Amino acid sequence: GQNIDQPTEMTATEGAIVQINCTYQTSGFNGLFWYQQHAGEAPTFLSYNVLDGLEEKGRFSSFLSRSKGYSYLLLKELQMKDSASYLCAVSPRTDSWGKLQFGAGTQVVVTP
Amino acid sequence: EAGVTQFPSHSVIEKGQTVTLRCDPISGHDNLYWYRRVMGKEIKFLLHFVKESKQDESGMPNNRFLAERTGGTYSTLKVQPAELEDSGVYFCASSRGGGQDYGYTFGSGTRLTVV
């Protein structure tokens, strides 16, 4: 079957670093997305990886290993506003870009 | 630019009734997608429009769900008749082209509760 797995919840202290792992098994692969979603709001785009390696964007970085079916999202210098759900999503097909497959999301709780 | 707008934000209906959800994508975005998240589960794809045409509707659960995008602008998703298991949050997203450069912009969702 097709699976995208990520931890349910992670807790970290303000100013710390948190790494959210995502493993995937899909029938095809055409890129991996990370989204942030605050409760009751729209998921917002954080990053996209299609090649192996690390993509850095300010405090957020995303890593991909296609051979291992593995990605992580790294959040540095955590702030209280980073408390949210983080969604890993894979685009499995080149002919249907919009058909993203999502993991269940990781709830990150940032404590003072 | 204005974001993706969904209406209503919440809807509570009785089993057997009909509900219509609306999505207004970002102006100029040809691609429009519907997704759904039921309680405790992951967000799941329902269908994809390119302009007014259905590109992929493989995620539609059954024939009680009907999506339209007349004129290639806004889209509606009608559930008729609604069942208890249809409860969840329905998200709409849009993109100008392939989403890899734009990451698909999502709306805030419509929370549907069927009682």
DSSP class of B107: P
Rounded Cα distance, B47 and B29, in Å: 16
Whole-number pLDDT of residue B70: 86
- The secondary structure of A11-49, three-state, reads EEECCCCEEEEEEEECCCCCCEEEEEECCCCCCEEEEEE
Instruction: List the single best residue of B10, B55, B100, B111 to mutate versus A (max A Cβ within 10 A).
Output: B100
Upper half-sphere CA count for residue A7 (Cβ side, 13 Å): 13
- Phi and psi at residue A80, in whole multiples of 5°? -60, -35
pLDDT tens digit string along B16-53? 999 999 999 999 899 999 999 998 899 999 999 999 99
DSSP class of A6: -
CB-based contact A104 B100, cutoff 8 Å: no
Q: How confident is the model at residue B101 (pLDDT cuts 50, 70, 90)?
A: low
Tokens coding B5: 């707008």
